Amino acid sequence: MAKEIECPPCGEMIRGNNDDELVANVISHAKDHGHELGEADRGEILSTALEM
Ligand SMILES: [Zn+2]
């Protein structure tokens, strides 16, 4: 199931074709844009993701 999540700091939509890809993309995006991931972990990321 493809999922997407809106990056809280910048509002960009981040998508993934599955849970693993979404989490990897979120982490990669955070690094690229200098966001602090803080306490966010895999479970937290997925709990706020939207199914497309
Ligand atoms: Zn962002």
Return the pLDDT at 36: 84
What are the extents of the domains in the chain? 3-51
Instruction: Transcribe the chain into DSSP letters.
Output: --EEEE-TTT--EEEESSHHHHHHHHHHHHHHHT---TT--HHHHHHH-EE-
30 CA from centroid of ligand 1 (Å) = 6
2 CA from centroid of ligand 1 (Å) = 19
25 CA from centroid of ligand 1 (Å) = 11
Return the pLDDT at 14: 96
Can you read off the two tokens belonging to residue 40? 């966010």
β-bridge mates for residue 51, sequence order:
3
10 CA from centroid of ligand 1 (Å) = 4
Return the pLDDT at 38: 65
Instruction: Divide the 52 residues of the chain into consecutive groups of 10 and give the mean pLDDT of each group.
Output: 92 96 94 82 91 85
pTM of the model: 0.85
Q: Is 35 left (phi over 0), alpha (psi -120 to 50) or beta?
A: beta
